[in-house]
Amino acid sequence: MRETTGERWARRIVLSLLTLFVVTPLYVMVTSGLKPLRDVQGDFTWLPTRPTIQPFLDMWRTVPLGRYMVNSLLVASVAAIVSVAIAIFAAFAVSRYRFRGRQLFSVTVLSTQMFPGILFLLPLFLIYVNLGTLTGIELYATRLGLIITYLTFSLPFSIWMLVGYFDSIPRGLDEAAQVDGAGPMRTLFRVILPTAIPGIVAVTVYAFMTAWGEVLFASVMTDENSRTLAVGLQGYATQYNVFWNQAMAASVVVSIPVVVGFLALQRYFVAGLTAGAVK
């Protein structure tokens, strides 16, 4: 299939505009991290007139950035992996079985996606505290508590999205596997999951980012040891000043692992592309 000239130009223009839209703030983020504070507070300049890497050094001292980063990465990754694992089983059940309560389950889970966080922040907090007092399982101000909270934030959407992906996988593949004697679990792991990889990756990324960026619950449910980046980065706005340049430098640094992770996951999109072509 050939691309017409009009299409080619449309593609170039649209992609260029989108690139500009995406890149401008990123550019400012990087260059502001290379400016002294005085310059960042002054008139805007495209290039640092007095470039310095000092903000990249100072940022570790202004806030305990390293610890926040470890917390965020740990909380977001574990929450994402567990959430997607749970979602895969649930979505498999909903997509491949007819059972009593199926509709009720779907509707209930979906509706939890609508709960305004502000409505259940305080109750959830109290539940965690009381659970800690009663059972000794400490969920308040721990990473465990955050992981459990965040994984449920992404769960409804993950289930729903995966049901959509699983539904689009032809039943014939399941049946072929079953004719070969595979049970349901084997069918799920050997047939459905490999085909649904792009969807699973997308959902994992969603679950990760949900946990990675959450602010409201983190601001109440964390202490210094469990604080995540999303709230921890606010430490650059201190009683004295907003250290814009350090905040920008820190933004650059904390984004690197996530962007690298995205890069690594791209392979699976491409893998999914070829798998799709075979179907």
- Tell me which residues in 32-91 interact with other proteins (CB under 8 A): 32, 37-38, 40-44, 61-64, 72, 74, 78, 82, 85-87, 89-90
Among 9, 189, 190, 220, contact with other proteins (rule: CB under 8 A): 220
How far is the CA of 122 from the CAs of 5, 73, 119, 145, 156, in angstroms?
A: 58, 25, 7, 14, 21
Q: How far is the CB of 53 from other proteins (least distance, A)?
A: 19
Phi, psi of 214 (to 5 degrees): -65, 135
Instruction: Say whether residue 148 binds other proteins (CB under 8 A).
Output: yes
Among 53, 57, 168, 189, contact with other proteins (rule: CB under 8 A): 168
Here's the x/- map for other proteins, 15-34, by CB under 8 A: it reads as x--xx-xxxxxx-xx--x--
Distance between CA atoms of 73 and 212, rounded to whole angstroms?
Answer: 7
Among 9, 57, 171, 189, contact with other proteins (rule: CB under 8 A): 171
Output 50 or 98, the one with its CB closest to other proteins: 98
Distance between CA atoms of 35 and 114, rounded to whole angstroms?
Answer: 42
Per DSSP, what are the bridge partners of residue 237? Answer: 242
Instruction: Say whether residue 190 binds other proteins (CB under 8 A).
Output: no
Output 57 or 216, the one with its CB closest to other proteins: 216
* # chain residues binding other proteins, by CB under 8 A: 163
Q: How far is the CB of 120 from other proteins (least distance, A)?
A: 4
Q: How far is the CB of 252 from other proteins (least distance, A)?
A: 9
Among 51, 66, 189, 276, contact with other proteins (rule: CB under 8 A): 276
Instruction: Say whether residue 135 binds other proteins (CB under 8 A).
Output: no
Phi, psi of 152 (to 5 degrees): -75, -25
Q: How many CB atoms lie within 10 A of CB 68?
A: 23
Distance between CA atoms of 10 and 3, rounded to whole angstroms?
Answer: 11
DSSP 169: S
Contacts of 218 (CB under 8 A, 6+ apart): 146, 227, 228, 230, 231
Among 5, 97, 134, 135, contact with other proteins (rule: CB under 8 A): 97
For residue 108, give both structure tokens.
């209930």
Q: Are 109 and 155 in contact (CB under 8 A)?
A: yes
Here's the x/- map for other proteins, 248-267, by CB under 8 A: it reads as x-xx--xx--xx-xxx--x-
Among 84, 157, 191, 207, contact with other proteins (rule: CB under 8 A): 157
Among 48, 54, 56, 105, contact with other proteins (rule: CB under 8 A): 105
Distance between CA atoms of 143 and 134, rounded to whole angstroms?
Answer: 19
3-state secondary structure of 23: helix
Q: How far is the CB of 231 from other proteins (least distance, A)?
A: 7
